Amino acid sequence: MSEPVKSLPSPTSSGGQPAGSDTYKGWLYKWTNYLKGYQRRWFVLSNGLLSYYRTRFSQQPLLPCLCVYVCLCVNVSLCIRTQAEMAHTCRGTITLATAHIEVGDTCHLVLTSGGRNYHLKATSDGESQRWVSALQQAKANTTHMMHQSDDSGDEAPVPQPDRALTQGALKTLASKLDDLSTCNELIGKHGTALQRSLSELEDLRTATDGTDKLKTVNERATLFRITSNAMINACRDFLDVAETHSRRWQRALQYEREQRHHLEETIEQLAKQHNSLERAWREAPSTHPDGGERRREGDASDENEDTEFFDAVEDSPAFITVTATDHTQHRRSASNQSIMSGQLPNNEWSHDEKDAGSDNMQLRRVRRSRIPDKPNYSLNLWSIMKNCIGKELSKIPMPVNFNEPLSMLQRLTEDLEYSDLLDRAARCESSLEQMCLVAAFSVSSYSTTIHRTAKPFNPLLGETYELDRLDDFGYRSICEQVSHHPPAAAHHVTSQRGWTLWQEITIDSKFRGKYISVMPLGCIHLQFHSSGNHYVWGKVTSTVHNIIVGKLWIDQSGDIEIVNHRTKDTCHLKFVPYSYFSRDLPRKVTGVVADSEGTAHHILSGTWDEKMESAKIVESSRGCGGSEGKQKTVYQTLQPKLLWKKYPLPENAENMHFFSSLALTLNEPEEGVAPTDSRLRPDQRLMEAGLWDEANAHKQRLEERQRLERRKREAQATQALEEGQDFEGFQPLWFERRTDDSTGESTYVYRGGYWEAKDGQDWSQCPDIF
């Protein structure tokens, strides 16, 4: 049962009294976790804050009325609970000013505050309604007081807040609050006693008894009047102290905001000064320990603020090479030729017995497990990025210093890192369990991005990439760049283990000054051969933070809706964005798998950089629509099962662009690939070898060649339009646009012919793009 200690009129009541502190206490059941379920907690609503405790805090025995009156008159606080008790038993506090109150059925209510949901349950409908009324009134009073505080005080901000004065004000407010708590308790008890006496007075039958009872009533009425006056005085004192210091605190808050803004400007200036000092140091002559003079070829040019770099998109001839700061100068043209030609190194092959007791042998290639270490280059980042705010990422001029030695086509192929999840899903008889594995696969593709803040190379139009892993993983993959503006790639994978995957992804990206957002547009399709289940989903937004100052870090955020178009099963995944103030795990992912009727069967949980688990639902408690039409459901599940766990990174990964084991093999030279394959792209190949100056030079050449090809196509289109003829423009070689039967959307799908052309080594149709 709850104990309503005091109820003040609302701020808009006819009485016009100022809103004070509303206190309401009682037992409620709070949802903790799936193991413990609902647990009984003692809740206290006071001054716009709802606090909850494991146990009901103790109260001191009631003092004699005269002693209480004397204590109140001299303003001595009678503490109902000590600060030690509060600190020991308080389990959490909810601020009602920013909380959302939602009413469910069967005595349920949900409070949402700071991105966290609190599921509460009362013992009866009446008790639930009383709590809701008290919470709503407390929220209204708190909001009104905040508005009054915002409107008051426009004096100049204090230069430095007085810490001692603030501490004193807080102690005074705490003392006044204790007075209010004491008065609340006394008013409640004396009011109950007075009401009981009045009821007994009405039931009297003789005048003699009436005289005695009337005396008792007068005494209790006097006590009630005394405590009421004390309550009014305590409220007035509390409001006076709060209003006196409210303006001071507002000014202090404004001062802190201005200081923070000033600090941000100072950091930016320091970053510029650091770059200037670094440039001056490089330009100054110095000697190495071996006595030779340090040569800086072209160092001055790479810090020119007008320098522009291009990533196969922008129309401008300007380009400045960025030079290294260490030992890369001695590796030059002799090694360049072998690297650019894509010649295979001395490949290692392992012999595996094909049949026990047989002399037949099968050759299996040993894939590489490392690439050259990433060299240490310096670059004036601000001089490049300052004029790019608001642009698409594909249109920002970039040197290879910001890239990793993989193309976007290879990054798409890297989604197959955990293809074994699809192999397991193909063997599932239950479509709902299959959906869990498909959801884990959709999350696993982001696990390789946790340290990968560099951007991949933008593929040239018509560029392709193949990955033939039939021997070990059972699949073949082919990608092609099908559009240049906007950049779009098509991808098709066929597995001998019972599934086919295809996708068309268009990249939309923006640079916002402090961060870069990458929004992949398009759908991923997955079909299992035996069941015919056809799954479709999209991708979430990737954001790279601290572009100008600080350590780069990446985050994934948004929702993914996976739909099985054959059974109509669905899975809703939520990638929770990182927040410094959130109690959730960083990089958290949650999800619910439901059937065609909307009934939930599995709960998914984990992180996109580590693992995903599924738990089968055994019971659910569904609430009704709240004030915003939302529906909250509480699920009880069995113990979770591990669906997917990230593989550990290879040794020395921090010096190899944080590539995974599969990523290390993606750019490994292969014999017999198409002449448009990303492995043969010279600037990317040179960057992987650590020759970034030469890579930038070849990058400029490829971009200029692509611009000329685009202008040629535009001229042909204009001429065809003038002559009234049709002009198709660029047509992909291995993909064609079709309408999907399940979704009704138009997308690029594999038309076939690539693997046949590879078997016959007939690449006559391939354009010369490198």
User: Which span out of 254-258, 326-330, 424-428 was modeled with the highest average pLDDT?
Assistant: 424-428
pLDDT band at 89 (very low <50, low <70, confident <90, very high): low
- pLDDT, one tens digit per residue, over 458-492 is 899 999 999 999 999 999 999 999 988 788 999 99
At 217, which helix (H) or strand (E)? helix 207-283
Cα separation, 186 vs 78, whole angstroms = 11
Specify whether the CB–CB gap between 39 and 27 falls below 8 A: no
Considering only residues 421 and 140, tell me which one the structure prediction assigns the higher pLDDT. Answer: 421
User: Which span out of 44-48, 71-75, 227-231 was modeled with the highest average pLDDT?
Assistant: 44-48
Q: Is 154 exposed, middle or buried (0-12, 13-18, 19+ CB in 10 A)?
A: exposed
Residue 211 has a pLDDT of 73
Bridge-based pairing of strands 361-365 and 588-594 is: unpaired
pLDDT value at 297 more than 70: no
131-135, 231-235, 455-459, 563-567: the lowest-pLDDT one: 231-235
Return the residue matching tokens 């204090």: 158
pLDDT band at 1 (very low <50, low <70, confident <90, very high): low
Residue range 257-282: average pLDDT? Answer: 76
pLDDT value at 298 more than 50: no
Residue range 129-158: average pLDDT? Answer: 68
Considering only residues 455 and 159, tell me which one the structure prediction assigns the higher pLDDT. Answer: 455
* 4: preceding bond cis by omega (within 30 degrees): no
What tokens appear for 281 in the block? 């140091």
Considering only residues 730 and 527, tell me which one the structure prediction assigns the higher pLDDT. Answer: 527
Residue 173 has a pLDDT of 73
Chain centroid to CA 600: 24
pTM for this entry: 0.56
Residue 770 has a pLDDT of 83
Residue 108 has a pLDDT of 85
Considering only residues 219 and 661, tell me which one the structure prediction assigns the higher pLDDT. Answer: 661
| Side chain identity at residue 19, one-letter code | A
Q: In 588-632, which ranges are E strands?
A: 588-594, 600-607, 611-622
pLDDT value at 622 more than 90: no
pLDDT value at 596 more than 70: yes
- pLDDT, one tens digit per residue, over 740-760 is 887 788 889 999 999 999 999
What tokens appear for 94 in the block? 């909810």
Residue range 657-662: average pLDDT? Answer: 92
On the CB side of 732, how many CA atoms lie within 13 Å of its CA?
28
pLDDT value at 426 more than 90: yes
Specify whether the CB–CB gap between 315 and 304 falls below 8 A: no
- Alpha helices by DSSP H, 489-625: none
Terminal CA-to-CA distance of the chain, rounded, Å?
A: 78
Specify whether the CB–CB gap between 436 and 385 falls below 8 A: no
What tokens appear for 500 in the block? 């086919």
- pLDDT, one tens digit per residue, over 36-51 is 788 999 888 888 888 8
Considering only residues 748 and 316, tell me which one the structure prediction assigns the higher pLDDT. Answer: 748
Residue 394 has a pLDDT of 52
The residue among 435, 412, 645 whose CA lies nearest residue 537 is 435
DSSP 330: G
pLDDT band at 290 (very low <50, low <70, confident <90, very high): very low
pLDDT band at 354 (very low <50, low <70, confident <90, very high): very low
- pLDDT, one tens digit per residue, over 367-397 is 899 899 888 776 555 555 554 555 555 555 5
- pLDDT, one tens digit per residue, over 706-740 is 888 888 887 877 887 878 777 777 889 999 989 88
Alpha-carbon torsion, ordered 400, 402, 405, 410, to 10 deg: -120
Cα separation, 123 vs 126, whole angstroms = 9
- pLDDT, one tens digit per residue, over 679-716 is 999 999 998 988 888 888 888 888 888 888 888 887 87
pLDDT value at 57 more than 60: no
